[in-house]
A and B are shown apart, each in its own frame.
Chain A
């Protein structure tokens, strides 16, 4: 009897060890590739949201020449200046809880921090075919040129209102989540991180 129980435990430990070893090995080998993918995706999203043209070969060059990155209060903020050194766009990550898990996107704004230039999705775990449609072109394109003033609203039948975009049918909670995370994070960056004085300071760096 005793022997049987020892055998039981031994088998479990053995299988768990093999499994852990295998996963550890694959994790170590794939992690650098995954991290590279994520960095690339972030840079692509920054350029996409600011509407900078690039292709797969010149992504790195474009990013380093066009974009200045600053970490303020632990948040990475991306600035783009034109040839005369005038600030033309500010981009940063917006994150929050969706319906099924965390959602993170990348938003870029004009220097007034009110007008949206573009919005891209970085990661989400919403329901495929419903909430997950927030990654689709038609949904994201609506945000271009909209104003977060006083607040952005994601509603049914938005009409021509400058601060409203169309929600996704069947994914009310995801739509509300996007609305909330954009409003909250933009407000936070506006009030806590980027005062006019701070932005003025970066101009010459």
Chain B
């Protein structure tokens, strides 16, 4: 994969981290009941993933294989903590809305997965493009899920009433079962459009 555009697009569609690779599902199921949460988490993951991919691609050759996971975790945790402090200092309301979930980015396997399988063995530029593609794919997946769940579960989008007052909110949509249902449906749609070839 040398073509920059292909590399970027792969992360969004064919290799979408949520719908295709089935990674980061814990965060995906937990936070996608409101679109605002999905967008903020998407942006935070984008920053952490691109920054740590870049750093890891620079030091990937130097780090001995046996300590690569601790080193990757340190890099990820550093960037996540930076994001957390930055949000608290300059975007107080946002950081309060996300609460504990910013810290959970550290354990998001989408990030560790990219560092391990791509950034540690590729050039800084390719790693950046790959990370940006995968992070965008992740953010879009979060947004797609949260649009469906917030619309059906609250009757709102970004907290603004969209469906009329006659709408009875589907409470199960904001709870875990709704998350699993919507995730299943969206994976179904994605697979129907571009089927995975069995090897």
On A, residues with C-beta under 8 Å from B are: 4, 7-8, 11-12, 15-16, 19, 22-23, 26-27, 30, 33-34, 37, 41, 100-101, 123-130, 132, 135, 169-170
Contacts and interface: CB of A to CB of B under 8 A. Distances in A.
B185 interface: no
B30 interface: yes
Contacts of A23: 78, 81-82, 85
Contacts of B98: 128
Interface string B3-31: 00000000000000000000000000011
Interface residues of B, number: 36
30 contacts: A4-B64, A8-B64, A8-B67, A11-B71, A12-B67, A12-B71, A15-B71, A15-B74, A15-B75, A23-B82, A26-B82, A27-B85, A30-B85, A30-B89, A33-B89, A34-B85, A37-B88, A37-B92, A41-B92, A100-B100, A124-B96, A125-B99, A128-B31, A128-B33, A128-B97, A129-B34, A129-B153, A130-B33, A132-B99, A170-B174
A127 B30 CA distance: 8
A21 B176 CA distance: 40
Main secondary structure of the interface of B (DSSP, over half): helix
Interface of B: 30-31, 33-34, 37, 59, 62-64, 66-67, 70-71, 74-75, 77-78, 81-82, 85-86, 88-90, 92, 96-101, 150, 153, 171, 174-175
A135 B90 CA distance: 20
A19 B78 contact: yes
A132 B30 CA distance: 12
Given A128-B31, A135-B96, 12 more contacts: A11-B64, A12-B71, A12-B74, A26-B85, A27-B85, A30-B85, A30-B86, A125-B99, A128-B34, A130-B174, A132-B97, A170-B171
Contacts of A15: 59, 71, 74-75
